[in-house]
Chains A and B, each alone.
Chain A
């Protein structure tokens, strides 16, 4: 059964990155400066976290003059949710096959 991308899991493994992503998902688009105010780490560190989140497909950046605005891409989470739900789909399919077999078996 397929696994979700390593980039996605690595990106979400870090609590600071999770907090940044959750904040963007909750509050909408933010600049690095505003995010740094809440993150409790330096601006270069926040920028680095944002780059990792971007690589994982979890955030999008938008240049506006000298500012870069970041926004959450919640659909980037889909592979992760799919990974669990894939097994659900797998088992429902196998339940169907099991029933087909039971109907064929001797009484």
Chain B
């Protein structure tokens, strides 16, 4: 998925869950509950709060995500920065994760968008940014044509 006018990519995951928004909100914003499904953390539902998500290090990833709370609208919307950390901060990803909860017939539509992926963040590419959006659109077609 590509954002119009910029060379960034987003991931969107949507799922209707048979639970009220209030319960899902707790799972998204209470530290021990976040740890149960995402990662160890020192999250606080306060705009401007900086926190880390910590996972097991693996090759090419130190296991730490640098985060900052951007939006807290109880039971409706939560947004935080999701950036590479430590030595990987300079060249790694700088993205924003936004959760949106919308009441649905049988529960709640949970929408997660992680936006701001730039291909150059994965390497040490510092050059011209032009062409990436168009290029990526073409890449998937090229790859799809692989016998």
Contacts and interface: CB of A to CB of B under 8 A. Distances in A.
Interface stretch (B44-52, B66-74, B125-133): B125-133
B114 A10 contact: no
27 contacts: A1-B61, A3-B123, A4-B123, A8-B123, A9-B120, A9-B122, A13-B127, A15-B131, A22-B138, A72-B142, A74-B145, A78-B143, A80-B119, A81-B139, A83-B119, A84-B11, A87-B114, A91-B114, A92-B13, A94-B38, A97-B38, A98-B38, A98-B110, A100-B37, A101-B27, A101-B36, A105-B23
B98 to A, nearest CB: 12
Interface centre among A14, A74, A98, by most B CB within 10 Å?
A98
Interface of A: 1-6, 8-10, 12-15, 18, 22, 25, 72, 74-75, 77-78, 80-81, 83-84, 87-88, 91-92, 94-95, 97-102, 105
Given A88-B11, A101-B36, A13 B23 contact: no
Interface of B is mostly: mixed
B15 A81 contact: no
Contacts of A77: 139, 142-143
A15 B9 contact: no
Nearest to B113: A91
Interface of B: 9, 11, 13, 15, 17, 19, 23-24, 26-27, 33, 36-38, 58-61, 92, 110, 112, 114, 117, 119-120, 122-125, 127-128, 130-131, 135, 138-140, 142-143, 145-146
Contact of A18 (B15, B23, B135): B135
